[in-house]
Each structure stands twice: as C-alpha cells, then as structure tokens.
A and B are shown apart, each in its own frame.
Chain A
Amino acid sequence: NAGVTQTPKFQVLKTGQSMTLQCAQDMNHNSMYWYRQDPGMGLRLIYYSASEGTTDKGEVPNGYNVSRLNKREFSLRLESAAPSQTSVYFCASSQSSGNTIYFGEGSWLTVV
C-alpha cells in the first residue's frame, strides 16, 4: 500500500545546479500538490495540478517548474538551485480539491 511515493529522500546540490523531484501516487487521485516546509514558515504550496493536464501556481512558485506527466506522476524541477530553496519538500494528492489529502514522506534538499 504505497500511497504517495517521492524521490529522492535526501539531496545536496550546489548553487546553480538543477534537479527534479519525482512523485507518484497509486490511489487514482485527480489532484496533486507540491509543498515546502520551512521552520517558522510552516507548509506552503508551490504548485498544484487539479487534474491531469493542468497545473497552477501556488503561494511560492518562483524558481520552480512542474510537470504532470500523467495521472500518477507529478514532478517538481529546480532549474538553478539557490540556498533559499533549502527545505523539506512534500508531494501530496487527493481525489479532488477539498477531499482528504495524502502526503509523501518528504524530500530533504540542501543547496550549498
């Protein structure tokens, strides 16, 4: 019973490098989300995909891009990593907006 799976779990990047966080859900959910969690700032929405083929900006989208590859997968890309993007990233999914939301285990990203 995998639920929401995200990779990698840990990553260290140098400033300016790029990387993609992968996320997949096996619950046949329509909506998927990417959040970041920072001390003192709480959880903030980066991007979301209400359904396959659509993506929209959340509260803090600058410096990120996303791709809803298919119904199962939603990736987050950092094109040119900055130290301010050091954070814990969570992927999540729900049947649709307003339903119970399920989170992955998180990806710890450090940009040096």
Chain B
Amino acid sequence: KQEVTQIPAALSVPEGENLVLNCSFTDSAIYNLQWFRQDPGKGLTSLLLIQSSQREQTSGRLNASLDKSSGRSTLYIAASQPGDSATYLCAVIGLSKNAGNMLTFGGGTRLMVKP
C-alpha cells in the first residue's frame, strides 16, 4: 500500500527566506505527483502537477522536483511571503488500474511565514 510522508509537519520562517518542503512515497510506480495548498477552513488548491516522466515543474516562485527512483519530491518556495502561510500537501496517483483514480495524500506541512 502506498504511503506518503511529509517532513517537517510544521515550519516557521521569517519573510524572505527560501525554503524546501519534503515529500516521500514508498511505491515508486506512480502516474504523477501533485502539490496542493490548503488555507484554514478552505479546500485544496492545486499548485503543481509533475508527471512521472518529468523531473520538475515551475510556477512563479514555486518549483517542484520529482525523483521517482528514490521516492522523493521537494517543493521549493523562493522569497517566502506571509501570504504563503498555509498547509502544503503532496499526493501521488499509482500506476495500477485499480489505483488509477486514488490520490494518496501525505499529512501535510503547516507553513507559517512571519513578517
């Protein structure tokens, strides 16, 4: 069974810092990996989707990398801002047909960026 782990569970940084959030998964047979942001009391917003054949995706100040063989992904946030404060979740979709519709989520990293 796929397991997704995110470290650290919580992170507090001063504004302007570059930071890295980590995601690891136990089964490397994935279709893709997605990073989401969740604000308190809100739904999830998709940030980046990396196909299994890709190594990274970029959107603005965000860069996500994928190393499928080692079962790891990182989300890099450049020049962090207080508005980046949220919980960040990664999720993977497995390759097998039965798992094809099931995103397996990590527990999330709760980020606070202090002004």
Contacts and interface: CB of A to CB of B under 8 A. Distances in A.
Interface of A: 4, 31, 33, 40, 42-45, 48, 50, 56, 58-59, 90, 92, 97-106
Nearest to B106: A42
Contacts of B101: 31, 33, 45, 48, 50, 56, 58, 97
B58 interface: no
Majority DSSP secondary structure for residues of A touching B: strand
Contact of B44 (A44, A56, A99, A103): A103
Contacts of B107: 40, 42
Nearest to B93: A98
B49 A97 contact: no
Contacts of A43: 44, 89, 91, 103, 105
A104 B44 CA distance: 8
B46 interface: yes
B77 to A, nearest CB: 19
A16 B44 CA distance: 30
Contacts of A45: 101-103
Contacts of A90: 43-44
Contacts of A103: 36, 43-45
A101 B101 CA distance: 11
B76 interface: no
Contact of A97 (B46, B93, B105): B93
Interface string B36-56: 100001111110010000000
B34 A101 contact: yes
A36 to B, nearest CB: 11
A58 B102 contact: yes
A11 to B, nearest CB: 15
A92 B44 CA distance: 9
Contacts of A98: 31-32, 93, 100
